[in-house]
Structure 1
Amino acid sequence: MISILYKEISGFFTSLVAYMTMAAFLLVTGLFLWVFPDSSILDYGYAGLDSFFNIAPYLFIFLIPAITMRSLAEEKKDGTFELLATRPLSDWDIVLGKFLASLAIVILTLLPTLIYYFSVYQLGITRGNIDTGAVIGSYIGLILLGSAFTSIGLFTSSLGKNQIIAFTVAVFLCFFTFSGFDSISSIISLQGIAGFLTGLGINQHYQSISRGVLDTRDLIYFLSFTALFLMLTKTILGGIKW
């Protein structure tokens, strides 16, 4: 598993697309946080990173599928999956190795955004006038969200050899699981089960953690969600071997 983890991370950073993807994420979040008037901290007059944590999940919907789309689809396309399958590695070694590598890349992409926190910390009228607890909770929420989206991206990458299809399907599933249930719950005929439907979606649990409250139910939700898609990926890999 460690060898796959190292191979995936090193392989990702040898591609120009990797740096372009990460740069695009940082550029867009920077524009929303500092430039665009409707979300700029400088115009908002409040020492917080709410605009960043509100826009980041929607950028993750495109960023993470771009990271994961090549994980297994490229192996199948290049014919290297058969070589990988013959090594003394279990299906779980392959799945977890690729999952942890992609998640590590997501976390590395988030690390430069810590400069936003330190900037707001210094720029406040009262130095340090920022809710650090809420920021920490929001970053934990983003990592858990990244974990859920990474498991989806890995699952779609295991479905075939075409990376574009894997990317497209992953974007759809990430968007639907994040905000689709909220939209469905707004249907008038489903108002009686609206609370249940929103609870199935990721957005409600992400918003809960982003408030700085680490509820066990939210943690269990994200862990169960991630485990479900990893199990589906493992099942597909097992079927390919047979």
Structure 2
Amino acid sequence: MLTLINKEIRSFLGSLIGYIVIAVFLTTISLFLWIFPGETNILDSGYATIAPLFYIAPWVFMFLIPAITMRLFAEESRTGTIELLLTKPLTDFQIVLAKYIAGFSLVLFSLLPTLVYFYSVYNLGAPIGNIDVGGTVGSYFGLLFLGSVFVAIGVFSSAITNNQIISFIVSVFLCFFCFIGFESISSLQLLGPIDDIIIKLGINAHYMSMSRGVIDTRDVIYFLGIIMLFLLFTKTTIGSRKW
């Protein structure tokens, strides 16, 4: 399993794909935080906070993570190497998990450089260090969990087709719906008291909860449950190829 994880990570970082994804993410975030005028510009806000990062990042991830994951299984299916992969001494879930960990690793690599933003704002505060550290840590955990869910969705989308473009489109749609779709449905106020339950089915409600700096076990269980659900969907899809 570790061999497969290393192979996928090397495949990302051994080509331009991984570096382009990281560069696009950091460039987009940097432009909104430091260059473009507006509410997301840290220097214009007058407050020592990197909260705009956690507002912008999910929308950037919504497109970049599908771009990372679209090839994981789709390319294997297109080239016919999926059959060879399935003959390896690994269970279907181990194969799925290895692909998932490789995709999440690239997301983690893209987030690590943003700690420079935190360090910069920390020193820009008056006095130095005048920043909500607890809220920032909670927001980072929330963003990691959100990215984890998007990777799981992307892996599933890649497993259901051998076309990378279709995988990308399906993944973007599912990420968008899981992130904001339930909230949009509840805003129609068609189901009365059930609307509050529908909101909690969406990722955004739990992401915003963690962004307040409180790591609630209910939010953690929700994220882990969604990740496991899509990984099991992927395992079922991959397993069906053996029949």
Which 5+ residue runs of structure 2 have no aligned equivalent? none
Which residue identity does 1:203 align to in structure 2? N
Tell me the residue number matched to 1:77. 78
Shift of 1:58: 0.7
Alignment of 1:74-153 (within 5 A): 74-153=75-154
Paired letter, 1:149: F
What residue is the counterpart of 1:8 in the other structure?
8
Give the aligned partner of residue 59 of structure 2.
58
Q: List aligned pairs for 1:181-220, cutoff 5 A.
A: 181-220=182-221
**Could you report, residue by residue, the CA deviation over 1:130-188 in whole angstroms, capped at 9, with x for unpaired residues?**
11111111111111111111110000000011001000000000000000111110113
By how many angstroms is 1:226 displaced? 0.3
Q: Secondary structure of the equivalent of 1:130?
A: coil
Matches within 5 A, 1:15-26: 15-26=15-26
Partner of 1:224: 225
1:162 aligns with 2:163: yes
Offset of 1:32 from its aligned partner?
Answer: 1.0
Aligned partner letter, 1:9: I
Q: What is the percent sequence identity of the aligned residues?
A: 55
Q: 1:240 deviation in Å? A: 0.5
Letter of the 1:26 counterpart: L
1:18 to partner: Cα distance: 2.1
CA displacement at 1:191 relative to structure 2: 3.7
- Partner residue in 2 for 1:29: 29
Instruction: Decide whether the 8 Å contact of 2:18 with 2:106 is kept in 1.
Output: no
Number of aligned residues = 242
Could you tell me which amino acid in structure 2 is paired with residue 29 of structure 1? Answer: I
SS, match of residue 21 in structure 1: helix
Deviation (angstroms), 1:14: 1.7
Q: What amino acid maps onto 2:239 in structure 1? A: G
Do the aligned partners of 2:189 and 2:195 also contact (CA within 8 Å) in 1?
A: no
| Runs of 4+ in structure 1 over 6 Å off | none
Q: What is the Cα-based RMSD across aligned positions, in Å?
A: 0.9
Structure 1 residue runs without a partner (length 5+): none
Give the C-alpha shift of residue 190 in structure 1. Answer: 2.8
| Secondary structure, aligned partner of 1:190 | coil
Residues of 2 paired with 1:188 and 1:77: CA distance? Answer: 44
SS at the partner of 2:193? helix
Counterpart of 2:190 in 1: which secondary structure? helix
* Local SS of the residue matching 2:89: coil
- Tell whether 2:69 aligns with 1:68: yes
Structure-2-length-normalised TM-score: 0.98
Structure 2 letter corresponding to 1:37: P
Amino acid at match of 1:6: N
Q: CA deviation at 1:19?
A: 1.4
Alpha-carbon offset, residue 193 of structure 1: 1.8
Normalising by the residue count of structure 1, what TM-score does the alignment of the two structures yield? 0.98
SS at match of 1:77: helix
Q: C-alpha distance in 2, partners of 1:195/1:126?
A: 41
